[in-house]
Amino acid sequence: MTIPSFIEKNKDRFLEELLELLRIPSVSADPKFSKEVQAAAAYVKASLLKAGADQAEICPTPGHPIVYAEKIIDPKLPTVLVYGHYDVQPADPYELWDSPPFEPVIKKTSIHPEGAIFARGAADDKGQFYMHIKALETLVATGTLPCNVKFMIEGEEEIGSDHLNQFVLANKDRLKADVILISDTHMIGMQDPSITVGLRGMAYMEVEVTGANRDLHSGTYGGAVANPINVLCQMIASLKDEQEHITLPGFYDKVQELSPSQRQRLNEAPFDLSEYKAKLDIEEVHGEKGYTTIERVGIRPTLDVNGIWGGYTGEGAKTVLPSKAFAKISMRLVPHQDWQEIAQLFEAHLKSIAPASVKIQVKAHHGGAPAVVSDSSLGYRAAEAAMEETFGKRPLPTREGGSIPIVALFQQELGSDPILFGFGLDTDALHSPNEHYGVKNYFMGIETIIAFFRHFSQLSST
């Protein structure tokens, strides 16, 4: 059977299997879902075996397990390693979903006239890594698999991939590959295919400011003893100047500056600022002076408060001078900032600006290195050719604001360049209520991955 007729014949099943996986609430952050996380790993393993993998196993880690599988047809042929994650972000707040997050439904939207699958994890990343399993199945069933394939699908991406490092280091030989495919990013649009070549890193911090040893009466003590919430707010406000420049000394020292022509190329990507604002219902964008919106999210680092709390937040009034205030602050980093260095710098600066009237504690939660991927490697060229074939247009290289810390890990430890082969759209509401993934994107992705295999094996043999 030919590839197109195999896909056509199995279309409904390819979709139904993904919906089945989406019904498993594999929320890695919440221990209440740990059984479901296990169930998702088991489902992935079974799917890989069914697709034709020679072997698949669930590899335990001190956290959630990693599913590893492989199909080796000839050790002399090139090997493709696929990375993905079967865990998902928490679905809260549930009331903002139009349909329950773990009961997938297919609905048409203006961007997805053929329909989109609405469910937590539809685009990030179940719908995207599952395309690779269906591509493998198609290649095996039609006798056209031209390379060896390995899969590493983890369950902790949404909580910082804490145990992946250890796994990669312990399994370097087993994971050896000529190229790594990761479908966990988005393209500019269905008419404008693109491949991500840059990702921001991250340093995630938590700050605790303590004033007096207990909550105080704001009448008896107010004005005479430091209010840690006020102090924390002042400190945070001072971390940016009026140009929206981050004021941490040394913060920009290692930031890679792009040449005027690189910046111009980046800004050639289709982008409509008024549409962007309209979609977010904002009057004006906000960010670092001297940079466009595309640049602000692609090539510039950020500092954002993700949460802040302390004192009385219940109903009515309580006149309290709280003892403690907290904030979670994340910094998105760009090449060549080092997250551990930035975390130290942040800690030192906050300690230096804290007034003597409070005590301060700063801790780093997790971080990840920023990454740039070559746009001239064999893998990139194969991905470019595959996309051009299925989308009818040569993809643009783009930089994405999000972080996939493992990209830098793979480059360092496995020595091969990952290809960020994402097929989602940035309107797919990743990490938000009503996350969805286009049905067309899913099938175009499967076809493009299949085409990648052919191009990659052809390019590798010349």
Q: Which residues are catalytic?
A: 87, 157
Position 447 contacts Zn ion (CB under 5 A)? no
Residue whose tokens read 């942040």: 346
Position 400 contacts Zn ion (CB under 5 A)? no
Find the shortest distance in angstroms from Cβ 125 to Zn ion.
Answer: 4
User: What's the Rg (C-alpha) of the chain?
Assistant: 24
| Residue range at the interface with Zn ion (CB under 5 A); choices 92-100, 164-172, 182-190, 377-385 | 182-190
**x/- map, 228-257, Zn ion, by CB under 5 A:** ------------------------------
| Residue range at the interface with Zn ion (CB under 5 A); choices 138-146, 174-182, 183-191, 421-429 | 183-191
**x/- map, 9-38, Zn ion, by CB under 5 A:** ------------------------------
- How far is residue 278 from each of residues 186, 274, 275, 414, measured CA to CA in Å? 20, 6, 5, 43
Find the shortest distance in angstroms from Cβ 213 to Zn ion.
Answer: 43
- How far is residue 327 from each of residues 244, 308, 355, measured CA to CA in Å? 20, 4, 17
Minimum CB distance to Zn ion smaller for 124 or for 178: 124
Minimum CB distance to Zn ion smaller for 36 or for 184: 184
Position 125 contacts Zn ion (CB under 5 A)? yes
Minimum CB distance to Zn ion smaller for 124 or for 435: 124
Find the shortest distance in angstroms from Cβ 85 to Zn ion.
Answer: 6
Position 154 contacts Zn ion (CB under 5 A)? no
Find the shortest distance in angstroms from Cβ 142 to Zn ion.
Answer: 29
Minimum CB distance to Zn ion smaller for 156 or for 384: 156
Minimum CB distance to Zn ion smaller for 71 or for 126: 126
Minimum CB distance to Zn ion smaller for 154 or for 178: 154
Pairing of strands 324-333, 304-310: antiparallel
| Residue range at the interface with Zn ion (CB under 5 A); choices 55-63, 65-73, 179-187, 275-283 | 179-187
Q: Which of residues 313-352 bind Zn ion (CB under 5 A)?
A: none
CA neighbor of 68 nearest in space, from 87, 48, 88? 48
CB 363 within 8 A of CB 205: yes
Find the shortest distance in angstroms from Cβ 435 to Zn ion.
Answer: 11
Minimum CB distance to Zn ion smaller for 116 or for 239: 116
Distance between CA 414 and CA 402 in Å, rounded? Answer: 22
Minimum CB distance to Zn ion smaller for 65 or for 121: 121
Pairing of strands 396-400, 194-199: parallel
How many residues bind to Zn ion according to rule CB under 5 A?
A: 3
| Residue range at the interface with Zn ion (CB under 5 A); choices 176-184, 242-250, 331-339, 412-420 | 176-184
Task: Rule CB under 5 A: choose which of 17, 36, 124, 435 binds Zn ion.
Answer: 124
Minimum CB distance to Zn ion smaller for 137 or for 184: 184
| Residue range at the interface with Zn ion (CB under 5 A); choices 55-63, 181-189, 230-238, 419-427 | 181-189
Position 184 contacts Zn ion (CB under 5 A)? yes
Find the shortest distance in angstroms from Cβ 124 to Zn ion.
Answer: 4
For the chain, the three-class secondary structure string (H helix, E strand, C coil) is CCHHHHHHHHHHHHHHHHHHHHCCCCECCCHHHHHHHHHHHHHHHHHHHHHCCCEEEEECCCCCCEEEEEECCCCCCCEEEEEEECCECCCCCHHHCCCCCCCCEEECCCCCCCCEEECCCCCCCHHHHHHHHHHHHHHHHCCCCCCEEEEEEECCHHHCCCCHHHHHHHCCCCCCCCEEEECCCEECCCCCCEEEEEECEEEEEEEEEECCCCCEECCCCECCECCHHHHHHHHHHCCECCCCCECCCCCCCCCCCCCHHHHHHHHCCCCCHHHHHHHHCCCCCCCCCCCCHHHHHHCCCCCEEEEEEECCCCCCCCCEECCEEEEEEEEEECCCCCHHHHHHHHHHHHHHHCCCCCEEEEEEEEEECCEECCCCCHHHHHHHHHHHHHHCCCCEEEEECCCCCHHHHHHHHCCCCEEECCCEECCCCCCCCCCEEEHHHHHHHHHHHHHHHHHHHHHHCC
Find the shortest distance in angstroms from Cβ 157 to Zn ion.
Answer: 5
Find the shortest distance in angstroms from Cβ 87 to Zn ion.
Answer: 9
| Residue range at the interface with Zn ion (CB under 5 A); choices 20-28, 52-60, 122-130, 230-238 | 122-130
Find the shortest distance in angstroms from Cβ 194 to Zn ion.
Answer: 17
Residues near Zn ion, by CB under 5 A: 124-125, 184
